[in-house]
Amino acid sequence: MGNFEYLKPRDYEELLEIKDKLLKNGILFAGGSNLMVYIKEKSIREGTLLDISGLEELKGINTQNGSITIGAGETITSIMESPIINEKVTFFSESLHDFANPLIRNKATVGGNIGDSSPVADTAPILLILDSSILLESKGANREIPLNEFFTGPRKNILKENEVIKRFTFPVPVGGKGIYLKFGLRKGTSIAVTSVALWLSTRDNHFEEVKIALGGVAPTPIRAKHAEEAIKGEKIDLTKLKTLCKELDRDMSPISDVRGSAEYRREVTINLLEKAIRKCLGAEE
């Protein structure tokens, strides 16, 4: 299993102290759903495992001044069951029902899912269309940045060796509908081949607000800015919807791998966006 030590910081301040000393050798874990895989496959061979599962500073789902904050240590299940999320961001809760399986949802945290920085992380597209920011903290310093500036490549991000992810914050969405769709090789809980998150509002039979985020079609989860601009302001015409959705081509840069070719990913993602728009409009085929 490799050469590992185990520490459980007594409080959040001690965590920051330890992380400042150990740097990259201090490996944070709460649920450990991804970490255990990396240890087993030996992509991580040594370090000190820092158990942060009990730290209250990394917990909490709260709303204040029109914004919602989610602690990085909140599990997928706790987000799904949160009264605040279910009342104010219902689609977020609904979207997580396809996250792995109940056992994993009970362990996996939103901070771990984002920190792992997989191109197909389920929570990333959702948080991206919510215009979420992420708070990164180290001993004596912190910085809050837009989430879309966090990812730099497959399993890579701007997190410094002495920093931890503390929480996520986003404005309460109003006046529209949200949805998250993903496509896997098997139905339900499989890892996404590609995914689409959409926030949509309409006015006077035109698309008003359009936010689109994608997973699995670029080195990182991304906002589809070209497609957003192309669709925003257009008259709602379902006969032309497929053409509008093809604007995603300008945002995607998929690769071919064992789960699908680049062209297959492009086609599936365009179809997912069309399906998502139709669902938000109540005009499913």
- CATH value at residue 23: 3.30.43
3-state class (DSSP) for residue 23: helix
**Average pLDDT, stretch 216-236?**
97
Is the same domain home to 268 and 207? yes
Q: Is the pLDDT of residue 185 over 70?
A: no
What is the identity of the amino acid at 65?
N
Q: Which residues is 182 bridged to in the sheet?
A: 195
Report the candidate in 52, 55, 57, 108 with the shortest Cα–Cα distance to residue 79: 108
Is the same domain home to 146 and 191? no
pLDDT digits (tens, 9 = 90+) for 130-166: 999 999 999 999 999 999 999 999 999 999 999 999 9
User: Where among 143, 171, 199 does a domain terminate?
Assistant: 171
What is the identity of the amino acid at 115?
G
Is the same domain home to 62 and 167? yes
Residue 284 pLDDT: 82
What is the identity of the amino acid at 24?
K
Quote the percentage of the chain above a pLDDT of 90. 91
- Band of residue 115 on the pLDDT scale cut at 50, 70, 90: very high
- Band of residue 191 on the pLDDT scale cut at 50, 70, 90: confident
**Average pLDDT, stretch 195-208?**
98
Burial of 166 (0-12, 13-18, 19+ CB in 10 A): buried
- Band of residue 106 on the pLDDT scale cut at 50, 70, 90: very high
Is the same domain home to 62 and 21? no
Distance (Å, whole) CA 145 – CA 73? 18
User: Where among 19, 36, 51 does a domain terminate?
Assistant: 51
**Average pLDDT, stretch 111-133?**
97
User: Where among 35, 51, 67 does a domain terminate?
Assistant: 51
Q: Is the pLDDT of residue 25 over 80?
A: yes
In total, how many domains does the chain have?
3
Strands (E), the chain: 3-7, 26-29, 46-51, 61-64, 67-71, 133-138, 141-146, 151-153, 156-157, 164-171, 177-184, 192-203, 206-215, 222-223
Is the same domain home to 202 and 275? yes
**Average pLDDT, stretch 74-88?**
98
Residue 259 pLDDT: 81
Q: Which domain holds residue 23?
A: 3-51
| Residue carrying structure tokens 């919807």 | 241
- Band of residue 188 on the pLDDT scale cut at 50, 70, 90: very low
Output 88 or 284, whichever has higher pLDDT.
88
